[in-house]
Amino acid sequence: MRLSKLERKSAIAGYAMLSPAMLVIALVTIFPIGYSIWMSMNTINSTFTGFQFTFSGFTNYNIVFQSSLFWQALWFTTMYAAVTVIIELVLGLLVALALNQPIRGRGLAIAVMLIPWTLITVISAQMWGYIYNGIYGVLNYLLMSIHIINAPFLWLGSPVSATISMMMADIWKTTPFVTMILLAGLQLIPSELYEAAKIDGSSAWNSFWHVTFPLLRPSLGLAALFRILQAFGLFDLPFVLTGGGPGTSTMSIAMVAYKAIFNDGAFGPGTAVAVLTVALVILLAVGSLKALRTQVGEIDT
């Protein structure tokens, strides 16, 4: 089919309008990712004249795979992501279901739920660090005054309690956002469907599983995907709240890469960790979308 002159002109204008955005994205994401892969296959030495690259195949990956810190951080990050994402989805769904009815103050609730999302994670980490503090933290005070504990507890003092404390801070900050996504999804479900289910004598439990849940799948998939990706990039919270400690027990993969590159100058192995993270994230993203059978919205022309 031959394009009319007007159409050809519009198409040229279209490419011209699209290219600045695509150019920036290509330069700052695609090119560096390729470069990352190249870097991860080189031994990189810092010299006076700059960085010296020597191709070394999979040497860096071997170094990474032999490092117990990498495996520990990988396990920590995976476990942390799984636990926080599941709790946030379940909690977010329950709150969204409770709020998905005409009750007063819902507008206010939605406004307040947006606030933790706008909060700088570093600030949240400092805030919780002060609340958890073993000497003057308010959490110890509250728990002691209702006699749950008898003496101040060092929340960030042991690997297990530090991990749980960090998860709590994360759940506090992110559940409201998950709730918002799910609430938005719930409001798209026509109320006639519930009426019909009710007339058919369906119980609340049944109409949840047969009406709400299937229709909410896209929102759940979106929230899960969004959270999994974020959880695997985990960096800000442990960096400030625990510094990866006690010991290295709360080090995330991103922290391992950061420390290798910028504290130890190990560019090659550090970048290999980064590349492995990307591979893992892509697998998880595809997996979680498949699991929830979410489809990328059809691209209308």
Partner 1 sequence: MKRRTSRIRIRKLIGYIVLLGMLLIIVAPFYWMVATSLKGNLSIGNFPPTLYPHHPTFYHYQRAFTTYSFGVYFRNSVIVSVIATVVVVILAALASYAIARLPIRGKAPIMVFLLAISTFPQVAVISPLFLILQRLGWLDSYQALIIPYVAFNLPFAIWVMRTYFAGIPKELDEAARVDGAGVLTTVFRVIMPLATPGLFTGGIFTFVACWTEFFFALVFNSSQSFRTIPVGIALFSGQFTIPYGTIFAGSTVAVLPIVLLVLMFQKWVVAGLTAGAVKG
Residue type, 9: K
User: Which of 251, 235, 256, 255 minimizes the C-alpha distance to 163?
Assistant: 251
Shortest Cβ 62–partner 1 spacing (Å): 18
Q: Please work out, in degrees rounded to the nearest 5, the angle formed at the alpha carbon of residue 97 by the alpha carbons of 93 and 99.
A: 115
Does residue 18 contact residue 9 with C-beta atoms inside 8 Å? Answer: no
Beta carbon nearer to partner 1, 34 or 247 = 34
Q: Is the Cβ–Cβ distance between 240 and 169 less than 8 Å?
A: no
Euclidean distance between CA atoms 57 and 59, whole angstroms? 6
Please tell me whether residue 121 binds partner 1 under the rule CB under 8 A. Answer: yes
Q: How far is the CB of 109 from partner 1 (least distance, A)?
A: 5
Residue 278 is a binding residue for partner 1 (CB under 8 A): yes
Q: 285: which 2 tokens?
A: 């993203």
Nearer to partner 1, 106 or 290 (CB): 106
Site for partner 1 in 177-196 (CB under 8 A): 180-181, 184-185, 187-188
Question: Beta strand pairing status for 50-55 and 42-47?
Answer: antiparallel
Cα 130 to Cα 124: distance, rounded to the nearest angstrom? 10
Q: Does 74 bind partner 1 (CB under 8 A)?
A: no
Q: Give the burial class of 39: count Cβ atoms within 10 A of its Cβ; 0-12 exposed, 13-18 middle, 19 or more buried.
A: buried
CA 227 – CA 56 distance, rounded (Å): 36
Binder to partner 1 among 48, 103, 199, 201 (CB under 8 A)?
A: 103
Judged by CB under 8 A, does residue 114 bind partner 1?
yes
Count residues contacting partner 1 (CB under 8 A)? Answer: 111
156 binds partner 1 (CB under 8 A): no
Site for partner 1 in 8-47 (CB under 8 A): 9-11, 13-15, 17-18, 20-22, 24-25, 27-33, 35-36, 39
User: Is residue 242 involved in binding partner 1 (CB under 8 A)?
Assistant: no
Q: Where would I find the H helices in 119-203? A: 121-132, 138-145, 159-186, 191-199
80 scored as a contact of partner 1 (CB under 8 A): no
The residue from 115, 148, 164, 291 that contacts partner 1 (CB under 8 A) is: 115
Q: Does position 56 bind partner 1 by CB under 8 A?
A: no
| The one among 45, 52, 54, 126 contacting partner 1 by CB under 8 A | 126
Terminal-residue alpha carbon distance, the chain? 17
Residues 201-220 touching partner 1, rule: CB under 8 A, are 218-219
- How near is the Cβ of 240 to partner 1 at its closest, in Å? 5
Task: Residue 46: name the closest of 261, 258, 272 by CA.
Answer: 261
Among 157, 262, 264, 287, binds partner 1 (CB under 8 A): 262
Residue 164 Cβ, how far from partner 1 at the closest point, in Å? Answer: 17
Does residue 90 bind partner 1 (CB under 8 A)?
Answer: no
